[in-house]
Amino acid sequence: MYPRIRFRRLRKSQKIRDFVSETSLEVKDLVYPIFIDENLKKKKEIPEMPNQYRFPLGQLEEPINELLELKIPAVILFGIPSYKDSIGSSAYAKDGVIQKAIKEIRGIAGEDLIVIADLCLCEYTDHGHCGLVKNGKILNDETLEIYGKIAVSQAEAGADMVAPSGMMDGMVMAIREALDKEGFTDTSILSYAVKYNTVLYTPFRYAAESGYKFGDRSTYQMDIRNSDEAIREAKADIEEGADIIMVKPSFLDIIYRVKTELKYPTATYCVSGEYVMLKAAANYLNEKNNVLEYHICRKRAGADIIITYYAKDLARWLQEK
Ligand code: PBG
Ligand code: ZN
């Protein structure tokens, strides 16, 4: 074949390389996570996640306007309530932190921002688990009813999408039924369908105050040794009515399999542990190039949507090119 086939022809200049590139990372792919803390009076940096903040209610104008200026299309919201109990009742309270935050953001951004509400119990329960607990066990079916209530309260407040992250079996179906019953047939479900049990969520648990008081999450989150199981999880969620499926953390092989085997809108979450690894690596290599490459690889693997704490930096870097 050589010398007739010369791969270097299409690598000759930046113009040609851009022209033939198969993948592109764009600002429209990005989702930025925001933490809203009901106990705060002013914004506070999260020590475990450098350059990330918790914001108080009533002061969301600054972070939201920044996203609008950067043309980031979507936010995902996490709430830290002032009151926790065993059933996480402030997760579905009409005047709960997340319900208030959704309304405030709608007031600032109107329809210019897609508002996604994370839907879980761990920030709202005193034991810190994603489901109801009885005799040290995390209950499945009893939890579903509460998820339905949370979904309806978030939709009522004005969320475009709810994002259940608790990994209870049947959660998507329960939420779909609850939403439809109340007339919210157009509220989408972005399901954390494939969520692994990993140390990579550690910084987030400080950020969102969602750490558990006993045990761990291994009876509901996936074992990292499994990949076929990811396909089964994602398939089940699609059948139950998920509109978008998420792979979390952003494991490349799993993104690739889910996208190529299921051909469904696929999101991935570059989680807090990935964020701090990238931050730490910035001591040894060029942060911008590394972070751009890291996220482009997630797109190449098949992700349509990327939730990332680097969304704002990425938007700036992509726009300066
Ligand atoms: C809670 C939830 C977690 C994350 C998103 N939602 C943590 C967990 O399951 O303990 C992790 C996000 C991150 O690490 O950035 N259900
Ligand atoms: Zn949870």
Q: What is the pLDDT of residue 206?
A: 94
Q: For 23-320, CATH number?
A: 3.20.20.70
Taking CB atoms and a 6 Å cutoff, what residues make up the pocket around ligand 1? 118, 120, 122, 130, 165-166, 201, 204-205, 210, 217, 271-272
Q: Is the pLDDT reported for residue 317 higher than 80? A: yes
Query: Could you identify the residue written with the tokens 């921002």?
Result: 113
pTM: 0.98
Question: What length does the chain have?
Answer: 321
pLDDT tens, residue by residue, 41-56: 999 999 999 999 999 9
Q: What is the pLDDT of residue 200?
A: 98
Closest CA to 33 of 100, 78, 64, 99: 78
Ligand 1 atom closest to 309 (CA): 15
Look at ligand 1, atom 12, and give the residue with the nearest C-alpha.
Answer: 271
Ligand 1 midpoint to CA 21 (Å): 33
Ligand nearest to the CA of 131: 2
User: 163-213 pLDDT, tens per residue?
Assistant: 999 999 999 999 999 999 999 999 999 999 999 999 999 999 999 999 999
Q: Give residue 69's identity as a one-letter amino acid code.
A: E
Closest atom of ligand 1 to CA, residue 200: 14
pLDDT for res 70: 98
Q: What is the overall mean pLDDT for the chain? A: 98
